[in-house]
């Protein structure tokens, strides 16, 4: 039970601005359990809920962050252009390191529709975790 709680927490934190990755924790649990479903579900739910938090923070603090964090302003501008062009489907890239969290926060600041945004975020994150899980399981069977 505790490994799943830890995986959830790490996955949640990894979807915020904290510089964490959850792939190693997922791979370790997949290898230890020898199964994909439980670890992938827990990691995906934790990571998506972390993104929901980032989305909400973006809604609340988007303009403040852009005006008070000059280094972040350039990333936010690129994310804004991407989201203006593609809309919520661009959030399938929410799993990508360095740009994913910014995309999600800017989507919140732009007040994109919540349900389509959540669907695309979930699709991207679940796909990434499925790939990591399969790779870990395959590596364990070598």
Residues making up the chain, counted from first to last: 142
Task: Parse the chain into domains and list their residue ranges.
Answer: 2-140
Task: Categorise residue 4: left if φ over 0, alpha if ψ from -120 to 50, beta otherwise.
Answer: alpha
Pick from 116, 103, 7: which is nearest to 51 by CA? 103
Q: For the whole model, what pTM was predicted?
A: 0.90
What is the structure's pLDDT at 79?
Answer: 86
Q: Which residues of 107-120 are buried (b: 16+ CB within 10 A; e: fewer)?
A: bbbbebeeeebbeb
68-97 pLDDT per residue, tens? 667 667 777 888 899 999 999 999 999 998
């Amino acid at each position: 039970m505790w490994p799943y709680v830890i995986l959830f927490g790490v996955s949640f934190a990894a979807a915020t601005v904290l510089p964490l990755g959850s792939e190693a924790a997922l791979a370790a649990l997949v290898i230890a359990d020898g199964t994909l479903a439980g670890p992938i579900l827990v990691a995906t739910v934790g990571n998506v809920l972390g993104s929901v938090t980032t989305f909400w923070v973006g809604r609340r603090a988007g303009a403040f962050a852009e005006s008070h964090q000059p280094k972040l302003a350039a990333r936010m501008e690129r994310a804004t252009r991407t989201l203006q062009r593609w809309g919520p489907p661009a959030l399938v890239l929410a799993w990508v390191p360095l740009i994913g969290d910014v995309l999600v926060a800017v989507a919140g600041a732009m007040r994109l529709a919540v349900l389509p945004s959540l669907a695309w975020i979930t699709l991207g994150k679940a796909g990434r975790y499925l790939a990591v899980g399969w790779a870990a399981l395959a590596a364990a069977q070598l």
